[in-house]
Amino acid sequence: MSTQSTQSTIANPAPLGLLGFGMTTCLLNLHNAGFIPLSIVIVVMGFALGGASQIIAGIMEFKKNNTFGATAFTAYGFFWWSLILIWINPFKGIEAADSMSMGYYLGLWGLFTLFMFIGTLKHNRATQIVFGSLTILFLLLSLANFTESDLIHTIAGYVGIFCGASAIYNSMGQILNQEFGKTIMPL
């Protein structure tokens, strides 16, 4: 019985994951910065594009044997789903999240993201910007919850809009550069 080496024939899942992350992050942080209310629009975007698309991209990255992409997209996809569950709290008898709990929750995501940022030091500059700004975003949101500071929360919103926009740029850059076979959008 012989073993054959097969090359993956699936498409690059990173643009899908980055788009799901970027668009959802922009939308939520338009709320954090005070431009729009927290509404069903953000919840549904978080569930569908932020959660589901990133989980799908993460599973595809596992298939491509990309541990970094698989971990990042799957974890952040489940971040969106967990955040939605925190917001709607469908569990009877469980106390709603308080500022201290949210501070620790967001702080742990910031710590995870910091380590992922270190991993991006072997990646392109665009990916470093996404993860660097996301680390700052999580740490600011954590601090805003610990201090209950509206000002820090608003500043975090602006950082989040930048972070989301950088992920959208990264996604579009990967797609257009591949489609045209040359650098259209530098990464």
- Planar angle of CA 123, 14, 159, nearest 5 degrees: 70
pLDDT reported for residue 8: 60
Residues 6 or more apart whose Cβ sits within 8 Å of residue 147: none
Question: Is residue 2 very low, low, confident or very high in pLDDT (cuts 50, 70, 90)?
Answer: very low
Rounded CA Rg of the chain: 17
Q: How large is the average pLDDT for residues 166-174?
A: 98
pLDDT tens figures, 9-61: 889 999 999 999 999 999 999 999 999 999 999 999 999 999 999 999 999 99
Place of tokens 């600011």: 140
pLDDT tens figures, 114-169: 999 999 999 999 999 999 999 999 999 999 999 999 999 999 999 999 999 999 99
Q: How far apart are CA 176 and CA 182, in angstroms?
A: 8
Q: Which two tokens stand for residue 166?
A: 């950088």
Distance, C-alpha 25 to centroid of its chain: 7
pLDDT tens figures, 101-122: 999 999 999 999 999 999 999 9
* Beta carbons of 143 and 106 less than 8 angstroms apart: no
* Whether residue 1 has pLDDT greater than 90: no
pLDDT reported for residue 9: 81
* Whether residue 6 has pLDDT greater than 90: no
Q: Which two tokens stand for residue 126?
A: 């665009």
pLDDT above 70 coverage of the chain, percent: 96
Place of tokens 């690059």: 12
Residues 6 or more apart whose Cβ sits within 8 Å of residue 16: 53, 56, 57, 60, 171
Rounded to 5 degrees, what are φ and ψ at 7?
-90, 140
Q: How large is the average pLDDT for residues 56-73?
A: 97
* Beta carbons of 145 and 100 less than 8 angstroms apart: yes
